[in-house]
Amino acid sequence: MKKLALISLFSFIYCIVTAQGITKITGTVAGAEDSILKVTLRMSDPFLITRESLTTYEMEVGNGKFEFAFNISKPTNVSVFINDKFLVFPGVYEMLMEPSDSIHVSVPEMKTAGHFGFGIVNIGFSGRGSDKLNMTKAATGAMLDLFNKDPKYALQSLTYKYESSDRKFNAIDAALKSFKGNISPQARDIIKGQLYDGVFYMLFISSLQSENDSLRYLFNKYIVQKKRIDVFFKSNVIYYHGGAAVSDYIQLSEFKNPYYVGGDVFRQDRKLEFAKMAMKYLKDKPIVRDYQLSRQTLTYVEAKMDNPDVRKMYQFYLDQVDARNPFFKQVKAIYDHAQSNFRTGTPFYKFALPDSTGKIHQLADFKGNVVVMDFWFNGCGGCKAMAPAMDELEEEMKNENIRFVSVGVDERKYWLQGIGKYSGKKTLQLYTEDQEQKHPFIKHLNLYAYPQLVVVDKNGNIAGIPPDPRTDKVGFRNFVRKFM
C-alpha cells in the first residue's frame, strides 16, 4: 500500500512538472574534464517578434558537463554555443525543443570544432524528446551529402541551382518520411520548414539577383508546381521559419525577373507597395498574412521611427490584419513608442553625458547646429561598417553647422577600446557612464538595433532618421542639409 502511494505521489509530481513545461538540456564534452568552458544557451519565443523574443543563459563549467533547465509552454527553438562555437552548425542553427523534453547531447572534443562549430551530424542526442533532433540530424546529413557534391556556388548555373535544390528538397522529404520516432505532427512540420528554409535561402538570393531569362520557367517548374513553399502555410510553422522565404516567393511570383525592379532591395525601398503585394498572395492565409505584415511593419517602424511613410504603413497594417493576432499588441507598442519619443518636430531628450576627460556635454550646448547622433557598441558589425562612412561625411561637412556626436553604450573600458573602430575617429565621443542600456537616456530612446542614427535640428527637436550613409551617402547629405 505504501509503495502504491509513493508511485501515485511520483506520478502526480511528474504530471505537474510536465504541465509546467520544465525542460532540460544537458551535455558532455569529450576530453574537457580539466578545461574551463563557456556554454551559452539562447531561446527564441516564436510568439514574440520584438528583441524580447531572445532569452540567453550562460555558464562556465570545469568538468566538461553542463545542464540548463527552463520553462517553456510551446515548441521553442534553442541554440547552444560552447566557447562561442555553434553546437549544431554547420547543418542547422537551432534545435527544436518541446515542453518537458530532457535531452542529453554528446559533444566531441573541442579540437574537432570547425570555424563555425561542431555540426549537427557530429553530435549525439539521447533522452526524452531526442527523436526529433535525431530526425533533424538524419535529414541534414542527407542534405549535406548533396551539398558536398555540388561545385562551388559561384560556378553553378541558375538551372543547376534549381535542379540541385530540388534534389535537396527530395532528400529532406525522404529522410523525414523514413524516420519513425515519436515525433508530433507539429514538430515534424516545423523541422521540415527549418530544413527547407536553409535550401531556399541561397536559391532565392541568387534568383532575386539574376538576370537570367529562364528564371520564371525554373521557379514555376521546381517551386510553384511542386508547392515547395506550402510547408510554411501549415499550422504556425511561419512563426518559426520561412518569413524571408515567403517574402522572396511573393516577389518572384509577382515579377518575371525581380532583378529589374531592384532585386532584394525592392522590399526595403517600397515597403507599402510590397505589403499590398503580400496581401494579394496571402489573403486566404490569415496566419501567414498577419505574421508577415506584423514583421514588415515592425521592422519599418524600428528603422525609421517616424515619417509620413511609416504612418501610412501602420495605418495599412491596422486596416488589414486581425487585431487578435499574437503580434498586434507588439507592433502597436513599438509604433506608439516611436510616436511618443521620436515624432518629427518634438523635443529631443535633454541628455547630459561625459566625454573621455569627464567633461559633460548637454543637448543645449549644440543649439544652432544640426546634430547627427550615432549610437553604437564595441563588437557591433554594423557599427564597424558605419564608422568609415561617418568619418568621410564628417570631413566633408566640417565647415557646415553640423555636429557629429557618437554615444557608446558599453562600460568605459570597452567604450574606449571601440572608439575609432566602431565609431568615427574624430567625432565627439560620449558614453553612458557605465550604465550601458540602463542609462535613462538609452531607456528613454529604447533603441531597437545598432548602429542607430538620429538627426536633431538646430532647435533641439527631432528631425528624423536619415538614410543609411553606408549605402546612400547622397540621401544622407540631402536629409541632413534640409535642416540647416
pLDDT in tens, 123-166: 999 999 999 999 999 999 999 999 999 999 999 999 999 999 99
Final residue before a domain boundary, out of 322, 343, 364: 343
Q: Is residue 386 domain-shared with residue 475, that is, in the same domain?
A: yes
Q: Is residue 146 domain-shared with residue 236, that is, in the same domain?
A: yes
Mean pLDDT of all residues in 35-53: 92
Can you give the CATH number for the domain in which 26 is found?
A: 2.60.40
**Using an 8 Å Cβ cutoff, are 280 and 271 in contact?**
no
Structural domain count of the chain: 4
Q: What is the mean pLDDT of the chain?
A: 92
pLDDT band at 47 (very low <50, low <70, confident <90, very high): very high
Is residue 19 over pLDDT 80? Answer: no
What share of the chain has pLDDT > 90, as a percent? 87
Q: Is residue 389 domain-shared with residue 471, that is, in the same domain?
A: yes
Q: Is residue 104 domain-shared with residue 147, that is, in the same domain?
A: no
Pick from 96, 91, 153: nearest CA to 121: 91
Mean pLDDT of all residues in 197-209: 96
Q: Is residue 416 domain-shared with residue 330, that is, in the same domain?
A: no
**Residue 392 in grid coordinates:** 568621410
| Residue 379 DSSP symbol | T
d(CA 353, CA 403): 15
Is residue 55 over pLDDT 50? Answer: yes
Residues forming beta bridges with residue 95, ordered by sequence position: 78
Residue 10 domain flag: no
pLDDT tens-place string over residues 73-101: 999 999 999 999 999 999 999 999 999 99
Can you give the CATH number for the domain in which 360 is found?
A: 3.40.30.10
Residue 11 domain flag: no
Residue 255 domain flag: yes
pLDDT tens-place string over residues 333-347: 999 999 988 899 999
Mean pLDDT of all residues in 400-428: 94
Is residue 2 over pLDDT 60? Answer: no
What share of the chain has pLDDT > 70, as a percent? 96
- Choice among 45-59, 149-163, 213-227, 324-338 with the minimum mean pLDDT: 45-59
Q: Is residue 337 domain-shared with residue 370, that is, in the same domain?
A: no
Residue 230 domain flag: yes
**Using an 8 Å Cβ cutoff, are 249 and 229 in contact?**
yes
Q: Is residue 206 domain-shared with residue 288, that is, in the same domain?
A: no
Residue 16 domain flag: no
Q: Is residue 427 domain-shared with residue 468, that is, in the same domain?
A: yes
Residue 6 domain flag: no
Residue 261: which region, alpha, beta or left (left: phi > 0; alpha: psi -120 to 50)?
Answer: alpha
Angle at which helices 158-178 and 130-149 pack, to 10 degrees?
Answer: 150
d(CA 92, CA 254): 30
**Using an 8 Å Cβ cutoff, are 162 and 221 in contact?**
yes
Q: Is residue 173 domain-shared with residue 192, that is, in the same domain?
A: yes
Mean pLDDT of all residues in 13-28: 66
Residue 183 domain flag: yes
Q: What pLDDT shows up at residue 304?
A: 87
In which order are the strands placed within the sheet that holds 370-376? 428-431, 402-408, 370-376, 452-456, 462-464
SS3 431: strand
d(CA 378, CA 27): 31
Q: What pLDDT shows up at residue 69?
A: 96
Owning domain of residue 379: 352-481
Is residue 409 over pLDDT 80? Answer: yes
Q: What pLDDT shows up at residue 21?
A: 59
Mean pLDDT of all residues in 242-263: 96
Residue 143 domain flag: yes
Is residue 24 over pLDDT 90? Answer: yes
Q: Is residue 282 domain-shared with residue 385, that is, in the same domain?
A: no
Q: Is residue 99 domain-shared with residue 169, that is, in the same domain?
A: no
Alpha carbon dihedral 443, 448, 450, 452, in 10-degree steps, equals -80
Mean pLDDT of all residues in 371-377: 96
- Distant-in-sequence, close-in-space partners of 434: CB < 8 Å, separation ≥ 6: 411, 412
Is residue 10 over pLDDT 90? Answer: no
d(CA 305, CA 465): 7
Final residue before a domain boundary, out of 216, 234, 269: 269
Q: Is residue 427 domain-shared with residue 471, that is, in the same domain?
A: yes
Q: Report how far Cα 475 is from the mean position of its chain's Cα atoms.
A: 26
Final residue before a domain boundary, out of 232, 251, 269: 269
Mean pLDDT of all residues in 389-397: 94
Q: What pLDDT shows up at residue 94?
A: 97
Element (H, E) at 442: helix 440-445
CB-based contacts of 443-446 (< 8 A; 24+ apart in sequence): 444/341, 444/349, 445/341, 445/342, 445/349, 445/375, 446/337, 446/341
Is residue 295 over pLDDT 90? Answer: yes
